[in-house]
């Protein structure tokens, strides 16, 4: 199926980048947010994302104004949904809000329109529980920043049809993303589960005074991250030898943090209001000027790594 029209509802951190990627791929994207500022700033945010991408040679042959002309800012949700072949919501992370949104969609869109959620946590089986046509509803979990990170987790619900799943996998390949088919719904899907597993141990090590936050970042960036980025962790295991890893696992696993409590170091930070960049302090301190510089540098690095990933992983997956 060739998609010509799409809708993106919710234009915050995720939605604006999703709209951008669909428009770059040539679709006419109808966009809506119930916040006026989010609507009015949409084109500027997309333009500034694209200027950074362009400076790194990631948008060769793509005309910025042409892309922006395909992003239509709508004044109502209904206007944004009309004539859409592919609806993505990136609205509030609230199950009822998402359920009600998709119920409204069913009254407006055609029977063939695919309904996608960018939820971080709710299974599509729950979101689509009361839909008349749950077979065309699916989770498509993009990563922040969505216009940069290549992988999107594709998670069908129990009643999503194979046809919808295949169509969506093809769609994401066609827009230059790297879809990964998550074959069973689990809380946090796959990648958020892994992040929490690692954060549990990393925060525990910081709390115990084993390593500082800065040294931990350096240690990961200069070792595991290089190996994982270059080959993926499962191949790292193949290279290292699973016989050795099985022995290390046996010794270390019982000694690692396994309780479900939020580590005290994290609880205290959140209690102090040290949320990170957004409050100027997390594990590190940030001045207003640094925030802009660090964010730009972070985006630049993400794009360089993403480009390397795209070059070395063309067609390289089971999905």
Ligand X SMILES: NC(=O)c1ccc[n+]([C@@H]2O[C@H](COP(=O)([O-])OP(=O)(O)OC[C@H]3O[C@@H](n4cnc5c(N)ncnc54)[C@H](O)[C@@H]3O)[C@@H](O)[C@H]2O)c1
**Three-state secondary-structure class, residue 7:** strand
Q: Which of 51, 56, 78, 92 binds ligand X (CB under 6 A)?
A: 92
Q: Which of 41, 99, 120, 125 binds ligand X (CB under 6 A)?
A: 120
How many residues bind ligand X, per CB under 6 A? Answer: 22
In the complex with ligand X, the residue whose CB is nearer, 97 or 248, is 97
How many CA atoms does the CB half-sphere of 212 hold within 13 Å?
5
Q: Which of 3, 7, 15, 131 binds ligand X (CB under 6 A)?
A: 15
**Three-state secondary-structure class, residue 195:** helix
Smallest distance, Å, CB 97 to ligand X? 6
* Helix, strand and coil percent figures for the chain, each rounded to 5: 50, 10, 35
Q: Which of 23, 25, 29, 33 binds ligand X (CB under 6 A)?
A: 33
CB 6 within 8 A of CB 29: yes
Listing DSSP states for 60-104 in one string gives TT--HHHHHHTEEEPSSHHHHHTT-SEEEE---S-HHHHHHHHHH
Interface segment toward ligand X; rule CB under 6 A; list 55-63, 113-121, 160-168, 229-237: 113-121
Smallest distance, Å, CB 319 to ligand X? 19
Beta-strand relationship, 178-181 and 137-141? unpaired
- Based on the shown chain and the rule CB under 6 A, indicate whether residue 119 belongs to the binding site for ligand X: yes
According to DSSP, the residues that pair with 279 across neighbouring strands are: none
Q: Which of 6, 7, 8, 10 binds ligand X (CB under 6 A)?
A: 10
CB 148 within 8 A of CB 142: no
Smallest distance, Å, CB 78 to ligand X? 12
Work out the angle between the directed axes of helices 191-207 and 213-221 (0-180°, nearest 10). Answer: 130
In the complex with ligand X, the residue whose CB is nearer, 99 or 120, is 120
Smallest distance, Å, CB 313 to ligand X? 21
- Based on the shown chain and the rule CB under 6 A, indicate whether residue 9 belongs to the binding site for ligand X: yes
How many CA atoms does the CB half-sphere of 263 hold within 13 Å?
19
Minimal CA–CA distance to 298: which of 52, 54, 55?
52
Q: Which of 6, 8, 11, 53 binds ligand X (CB under 6 A)?
A: 11
Smallest distance, Å, CB 207 to ligand X? 25
Interaction mask 161-180, ligand X, x per CB under 6 A:
--------------------
Q: Contacts with ligand X in 249-308 (CB under 6 A)?
A: none
Q: Which of 5, 20, 49, 118 binds ligand X (CB under 6 A)?
A: 118
Smallest distance, Å, CB 66 to ligand X? 25
Minimal CA–CA distance to 152: which of 164, 137, 142?
142
Residue number of the CB atom closest to ligand X = 12
**Three-state secondary-structure class, residue 58:** coil
Note the residues at the interface with ligand X (CB under 6 A): 9-15, 33-35, 38, 90-93, 97, 101, 118-120, 142, 144
């Amino acid at each position: 199926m060739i998609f010509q029209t799409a809708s993106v509802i919710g234009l915050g951190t995720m939605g604006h980048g999703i709209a951008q990627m669909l428009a770059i791929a040539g679709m006419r994207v109808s966009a809506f947010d119930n916040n006026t500022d989010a609507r009015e700033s949409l084109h500027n945010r997309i333009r500034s994302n694209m200027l950074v991408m362009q400076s790194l040679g990631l948008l060769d042959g793509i005309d910025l104004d042409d892309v922006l002309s395909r992003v239509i800012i709508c004044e109502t949700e209904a206007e944004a949904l009309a004539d859409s072949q592919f609806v993505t919501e990136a609205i509030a992370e609230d199950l009822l809000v998402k359920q009600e949104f998709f119920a409204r969609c069913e009254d407006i869109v055609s029977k063939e329109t695919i309904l996608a959620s960018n939820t971080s946590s709710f299974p599509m089986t729950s979101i689509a529980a009361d839909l008349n046509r749950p077979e065309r509803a699916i989770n498509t979990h993009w990563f922040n920043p969505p216009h940069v990170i290549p992988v999107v987790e594709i998670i069908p619900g129990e009643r999503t049809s194979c046809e919808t799943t295949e169509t969506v996998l093809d769609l994401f390949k066609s827009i230059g993303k790297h879809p990964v088919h998550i074959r069973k719904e689990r809380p946090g899907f796959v990648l958020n589960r892994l992040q929490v597993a690692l954060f549990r141990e990393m925060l525990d090590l910081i709390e115990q005074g084993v390593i500082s936050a800065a040294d931990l970042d350096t240690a990961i960036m200069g070792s595991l991250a290089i190996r994982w980025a270059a080959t993926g962790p499962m191949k790292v295991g193949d290279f290292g030898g699973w016989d050795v890893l099985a022995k290390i696992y046996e010794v270390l696993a019982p000694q690692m943090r396994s309780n479900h409590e939020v580590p005290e170091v994290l609880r205290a930070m959140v209690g102090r209001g040290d949320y990170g960049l957004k409050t100027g302090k997390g594990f590190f301190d940030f001045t207003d000027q640094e925030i802009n510089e660090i964010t730009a540098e972070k985006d630049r690095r993400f794009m360089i790594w993403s480009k390397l990933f795209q070059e070395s992983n063309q067609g390289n997956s089971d999905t």
